[in-house]
Chain A
Amino acid sequence: MNTNHNDDTRRDDLPDALRWQLRAMRRDEAPEHDLWAGIAQRIQEQPRQVAPQRPRWIAPVALAATLVLAVGMIGFWRSGGEGPAKPGAESGQRESLVQAEAQGMRRQYQAAMIEVGPGRPPAELQPAFDELDRNAALILDALAHNPDSRLLLEQLRRTYARRLALAQKVAYA
């Protein structure tokens, strides 16, 4: 199901995580306009009442939210999140950066899930959603013990992305 097997060099240049993201979105349609502004506004708001009907714009919003997670991670890598721990002030900076990224990622994910999955998932997929939630909680708990961990941040992003992708799959079905 890979969509681009002809350009292996370019594919290899992508981080595995981003490639995974792109794969997860291979059947999506690009949003017609920038939807992030609306999502950002909703992040600041309390979770609103769940609508009984799933509106048509769910898929593009989910796509935009997933993109935000991916782009956020790229920004994190480029700002120096990757690499060995450095002593002194730099170490302190990176620690706060990892924590801030994790918190930001969590808020973005929660906002996206409000838009994508207001209803209960189908019964046969409930165990998978529960499993993803359990593992996300496990990572967050681990991050509380080791807030400087690039490994945990990346695992958290993957787990959120995977849950979003599954919610999108249900929405499309």
Chain B
Amino acid sequence: MTRAHIQRLAFGLALLMAHGAFAATPINESRPLDPRGRVEIENVKGSVEVRAWDKPEVKIEGSLGEGVERLQIEGDREHLSIRVKYPNRSGVGVFGGSDKSEPTDLRVMVPVRADLDIDVVSADVNVEGVASNELSIDTVSGEVTVAAAPREADFDSVSGDLTLTVNSSRVSAETVSGDLNLRGRLDGEVRVETVSGRIDVSTLSTRVQKLSGSTVSGDIRINTALANNGRISLETVSGDLDLTLPKNLSANVRGESFSGDLSAPGAQINRPKHGPGSNFDHRYGNGDGDVTIESFSGDATLRLE
């Protein structure tokens, strides 16, 4: 490539970048919000980044993509909604491949205790630092990354991965094919569910009261501890299931599989002489809690560490 070619290429690239910079409309808005108010954010594509601060105010920055109708901000000090509005089009709306609007990037500062409800399609979501009563994120294909301490958290994705580090007393997360990675101080209820995505849950120095996990073909890996009289219920059709609990476990553990291999320390695996299937029922410690692991064809393993 000659020097002239490189110069022309660089000039073209610069023009393209300049065009992109001018096409996107900068956003710089602020609204007052009660410290425990509620913020709803909707953005189809692009990104949503949320950070927390101590001010009773919501600040919205970023850039509105070309072709987007407007940024709609409505509500009052108790309830604020921020929506990226698209022009009305025929077809299947926000899912339509004919949508030519450019991605919109939102950076939002919210009061640290404000409830948060985020709804996106393909936009990536990144939330850090909020300690709200409720946190809810709904996505189709966007990646979701959260590091927060909401009292209750609810995540729903179709194909986007969920990477969650939360300190919460109640967490519910589900996907169709997206992977689900959940970490944090989880001492209450945890519900994780995918169809074919992989589930990986690890609680840090906390004991869950109730944990339920389910997949059809995705693998499940759980590393946790069980509260007194707590319950864990895991099931999969063809995925492998791996549950790790502390050595001082006090629970009655039951396992069942149609054609998968079962494994549990010290447990007698029963296999009927005639017909398929295997199961076990074993008491660890005083048997205070209740644990069930069940599969159709996937392997199910209990480990004590």
Contact = CB atoms under 8 A, between A and B. Distances in A.
Interface in A114-167: 121-125, 127-128, 131-132, 134-135, 138-139, 142, 145-146, 149, 151-152, 155, 158-159, 162, 166
Interface stretch (B12-20, B64-72, B88-96): B88-96
A99 to B, nearest CB: 15
B136 A138 contact: no
Contact of B297 (A1, A142, A170, A173): A142
Interface stretch (B27-35, B153-161, B222-230): B153-161
Interface in B198-235: 212, 214, 216-217, 235
A146 B158 contact: no
Contacts of B154: 1-2
A91 B304 CA distance: 35
A32 interface: no
Which of B93, B122, B140 is packed against the most chain A CB atoms within 10 Å?
B140
B266 interface: no
B156 A1 contact: yes
B230 to A, nearest CB: 14
Chain B interface bracket (under 10, 10 to 19, 20 to 34, 35 or more): 35 or more
Nearest to B157: A128
Contacts of B92: 122, 170, 173
A131 B196 contact: yes
B63 to A, nearest CB: 23
B284 interface: no
Contact of B122 (A20, A124, A152, A169): A124
Contact of A173 (B95, B238, B258, B296): B95
A135 B195 contact: yes
Contacts of A162: 176, 195
The 7 closest A-B pairs by CB, nearest first: A122-B95, A1-B136, A173-B93, A135-B216, A131-B177, A128-B158, A142-B296
A16 interface: yes
B185 interface: no
B152 interface: yes
Contact of B212 (A16, A124, A155): A16
Contact of B216 (A16, A121, A127, A138): A138
26 contacts: A1-B136, A1-B156, A16-B212, A20-B174, A122-B95, A124-B97, A124-B122, A127-B159, A131-B195, A135-B217, A139-B216, A142-B297, A145-B259, A149-B258, A151-B235, A151-B237, A151-B294, A152-B237, A152-B296, A158-B193, A158-B214, A159-B216, A162-B176, A166-B176, A169-B140, A173-B95
